Amino acid sequence: MPLVLSRRLVLRAAFVLLAVAAIALLAGRGDGTPSAGPAVADSPRPALTVSLIKPRSADWPRTLAATGNVAAWQEAVIGAEISNYRLSAVLVSVGDRVAKGQVLARIADDNVAADLAQSAAAVAEAEANAAEAKFNAERARQLRASGFYSPQQAQQSISAEAAAAARLDAARARKQNDELRLAQTQVRAPDAGIISARTATVGSLTQPGQELFRLIRGGRLEWRAEVTAAELTRLKPGLPATIAGPAGGAVKGRVRTLGPTVDADSRNALVYVDLPESAAGAGLRAGTFARGEIELGVSPALTLPQAAVVTRDGFSYVFVAAGGDKVALTKVTVGRRIGDRIEITGGVSADLQVVAAGAGFLADGDTVRVVAAAPQ
């Protein structure tokens, strides 16, 4: 009997010890101290593999964006100088490049040529009469000196000489006028340039003030950029400008002059930018609407690759290294853009490290895996 009782006591003690061990084990798991196995499972996984870069300083041009129309520098209106004559030939068309003095059209010159022949004959007759009157006047002077002519007779001969000379001058003037009219039967270009419009047609009668052609002098075009009155104070002649052509590419120009007035309705002023001859190759033609930038100089800029900047809800952000493997979403302000880089005007400093690419896939506070950055 005592042996059985001692066995029961040993079993009860063992049971109590097992119960205490189980309670201690459960208490150890519930006190917030993880075991080695779960610690590996609960560590956060990196959201993205990234490289970090620092903003780079550079001297960038300061520009002023503007829009405006492309127009001819000067456009000459060409018409006939004689009226009521028929056009016999039109030698150029729209788009032709012409030289100064080149014949653009011809006017029928039959009547003018006949008038010139008649005036030439009148000159010949007047020259003969003038020669005879001069001979008679010289003879009268000699005979008067010898006493054979009275002063009255001598004066008549001298007056006849003067009248014949005057008639000769009048005949020569009429001939010169007819020669000028004959030259005007050829409509010539007043300057080198490009024909921008043509209304001349063969067989039509020329009229006073009638426009036959329009000519872009020298083929020169200009960009008439519109800027505000405040922006106008920042500009001066000689500044370079870059104009985007509708056919692609960019055209370099230079500010020629600033408009002397500001429009009372729009409060805008015009800036006249000379364009090179290559502007036509970029699609810039008279009447084209174009956008461009006028360079104001250079200034330091803190820049990042555009891939490092993400836009959310209308604002610009970058992800900055926040210690450890964490990144923090940081709001920035941006400015100029050149190529694949963008200016950061506020929000970060030059000594901060920023996620170089893939910012669009990150969230504030994400854990990342950092690798070495490629050369910028």
Q: Do domains 48-60+300-371 and 65-73+219-297 have the same CATH topology?
A: no
Inform me whether the pLDDT recorded for 13 exceeds 70: no
C-beta neighbour count of 152 within 10 angstroms: 8
**Which fold would CATH assign to domain 48-60+300-371?**
2.40.420
pLDDT at 327: 87
Q: pLDDT tens, 105-154?
A: 999 999 999 999 999 999 999 999 889 888 888 887 877 777 666 777 77
| 291-339 per-position pLDDT tens digit | 999 999 888 999 999 888 999 888 999 999 887 788 889 999 998 888 8
Q: Domains of the chain: which residue ranges?
A: 2-41, 48-60+300-371, 65-73+219-297, 75-194
For 217-267, the pLDDT digits (tens) are 998 999 999 999 999 999 999 999 999 988 777 899 999 999 999 999 989
Q: Rounded to two decimals, what is the model's pTM?
A: 0.63
Superfamily per CATH, domain 65-73+219-297 = Efflux pump adaptor protein, beta barrel domain (2.40.30.170)
Tokens linked to 50: 């990234």
Per-residue pLDDT tens for 331-361? 999 988 888 899 999 988 888 889 888 888 8
